[in-house]
Each structure stands twice: as structure tokens, then as C-alpha cells.
A = this chain, B = another copy of it.
């Protein structure tokens, strides 16, 4: 069984890296803080005696293989260690560190696996600095040319490729240099389902589709005191209409569609100036592709009407678009069985969040194990999963890996 103290110690250590004086954890992809986190992970991979590899998109791998199994396709475990702004310490890190923990446990037990076992930390899973999200695993799976990904410009104007070089994680290996036999990702649920229904584990069957857009509304700046309401072309007001439209629509429907405006910026952003420009993001998700398309279409129609009604110009940039993904049925069943052998209450479920597993599913059987998030809180410093649940998740991961490396 796994060394839970080592796992918790590492989780806490990594969670302290990139924490500012204000106590906020921010380890955006390819930032200085991300470099510090990566350096720490690499030191642990080295200590564990793994072969460390970095590919051109900056994905970090710890490879356990020997002459007896190096010809076999590896079993890949992984997740990410980049974070959102003011993040919790479990999101992503728990999966990477559990993957490492499983490998160290197997090594210490003298197991000789039939195939290599690899733990991966994928670049820029969060997508907060560079869009799309899950970028490292997307490139690894061949879904985006590496040159295109390296050229992406972040919300801070930086270029991902430059930043990876700067922090020393622009590797030389071609993404996809490993062809996985299967991929497993352990992650916190980040939502309320497991806790609410009293399950310790989730066997994730599918992931919802993700649609990310950046919308820019151009109006006309004018004086807040002198301009009659009827003469305004207020970009900020038009943006607010989009926010309330999305909310009202999502609340009114019976579908699980979720719609979020997370980023908002006004220009010139002055108290007595009618905004000339508003830029904001729209995150739309639905497990059903048809419904997701319908939501996108409804938004587009609304924006057209808004442009006419408000006399503003609306432009839309697509930042990410992923269709819903269905995981490998055998792997999902395998997770369920392993949980049941340990007597752990496990539920099949959909993931609301996007995950690297959804990209790797393009090139190999993939599935995920979820542990509960207290209060359904994530992307928030209050993100928390009790230690017993973390241990349950890592133990079932260990069990499934043991099964898979024996055959």
C-alpha cells in the first residue's frame, strides 16, 4: 500500500510553491512559479530513480522502465501541476503525485512490471494563461501542432514558447514520443456530486464538451455626465446584457448546461467615461454535443441582436472547443471493480471539468478516478479533500495499475 505520509508531505510542499506574500497560490503555466514547481517535481522524479524526459511543449515525464519491458507500450499516469489564480492545492497535483507514489510503491515492493510505467505532468492544463486548456496533453495526443501551441500568446502578452525556454522547460523530444498502452488520471472531483451522494470515489465515464470564446464589444467612449441615456453606445452595458442573458438561459433550461463569464475588462475603465470597449470570456459546457451547439448558436443570435439594438460592434474569438468525450468502458469497469474489492463506495459519473485524460483518450484507452471535493469547491483556496479520501483514491489507482502491469 502507498506511503500516505510521503504523498501528503509532497502535496503540501508543492502547494507552498508559488504562494505569494498574500497567501495566494498562483502557479500559472510556464511562469517563474511554475518553474519552481516543476523543479521540485523533477527532484522527486530523480530521487525515485526515474528517467526524466521533457518534450517540446514542456510536458514532464518520469519513466520507470528496464531492459525487460522497454519494448512494451507504457502505462501512463498523469495530470498537471499548473494552477489557476488563487488556486487550491489539490487540483492536478494530487494526480501527478499519486502517479509518482504508485510507481515508488511498486518499485519498493519489488514488482517487475510487464510494461514501463510513466508519470506525466502536462503543460498548461488550466488554460488560464494560454488557451486552450489541456494544451500539453492535446499536443501530446497530436490534436494541435506543437509549433502552433508554442506560438500562443497569453492573456499577459507573453508567448508560451518563449516562456518555456526562459524557465528551462522547452524540451527536445517530440510530443507523442511515447505511445501509451492506457492512461489513468486520479483527480479531485471539483464539483458537489460525490459528497452530496455519499460516495468516496467516482469512476469517470465521460466528460462534457467545452466551448471557450473571447468576446469584444466596441462602443463609443463619451462623457458620463453629458451623454443622454438614449444616445449611448455603452460597451460595458452591452457586455452586462450578455452576462445576464447567459445566466437566465442556463437557469431556465432543465439541461445541465453551465455558462460562465470569468474574465471581464472595460476600456478606458474610468469612472466618468462610458466604456468604449468591453472584453470578456464565455465558458459554455454541456455533456451533449447537440445541446452545446444549440447554446453556442443561441449566444451568436443574441449577440447579433445586441449589436443592432445597442449600436455596438461585436467580435468573437474562439479560444477552445472540445467535444464531449466517452472514456474506455473496460477501464471504467476496472476502476469500479478495484473500488469494490476495497469496499469503497464508487459511482459512475460525468466530469464537469476538463482534464488531460480527455485529450489522451484520442490515442489510447483512458479513464479517471475522482475523489470528493468538500462543498463542491475548487478553483478556490478553500478547495479540500479529506486525507482518507485521498488515500482511497491513490490506493485504487495502485490496484488498477498493478492489474494492468501484470498483463
The residues of A with any CB-CB pair to B shorter than 8 Å are: 84-86, 126-128, 131, 133, 189-192, 208, 210, 212, 220-231, 234, 236-237, 239-241, 243-244, 247, 250-251, 256-276, 278, 281, 283, 285, 319, 351-354, 373, 376-380
Contacts and interface: CB of A to CB of B under 8 A. Distances in A.
A353 B270 CA distance: 15
25 contacts: A85-B269, A128-B270, A189-B226, A191-B225, A221-B379, A222-B377, A225-B285, A226-B351, A226-B352, A226-B373, A227-B376, A229-B257, A229-B259, A237-B244, A239-B240, A240-B243, A240-B261, A244-B244, A262-B266, A263-B269, A264-B269, A270-B379, A273-B379, A273-B380, A274-B379
Contacts of A274: 260, 262, 379
A237 B224 contact: no
Copies of this chain, whole number: 2
A264 B251 contact: no
A225 B373 CA distance: 14
A271 B215 CA distance: 12
Contacts of A262: 224, 236, 266, 269-275
A275 B281 CA distance: 12
The 3 tightest CB contacts between A and B, nearest first, are A191-B226, A226-B352, A240-B243
A263 B278 CA distance: 10
A84 B283 CA distance: 33
A380 B264 contact: no
Contact of A378 (B189, B222, B275, B373): B222
A256 B270 CA distance: 22
A192 B231 contact: yes
Contact of A264 (B230, B256, B264): B264
Contacts of A261: 236-237, 240, 275
Given A127-B271, A262-B269, A264-B278, 8 more contacts: A86-B268, A126-B270, A128-B273, A225-B353, A229-B257, A237-B261, A262-B270, A263-B266
A244 to B, nearest CB: 5
B223 A236 contact: no
B379 A126 contact: no
B237 A272 contact: no
A79 B165 CA distance: 53
Contact of A222 (B133, B263, B272, B376): B376
Given A208-B225, A223-B353, A283 B271 contact: yes
A221 B352 contact: no
Contacts of A241: 240, 244
Contacts of A227: 191-192, 258, 352, 376
A354 B351 CA distance: 54
Contacts of A208: 225
A191 B225 CA distance: 8
Contacts of A273: 84-85, 128, 262, 379-380
A283 B272 contact: yes
Nearest to A193: B226
Contacts of A271: 127-128, 131, 212, 262-263, 281, 283, 319
B378 A223 contact: yes
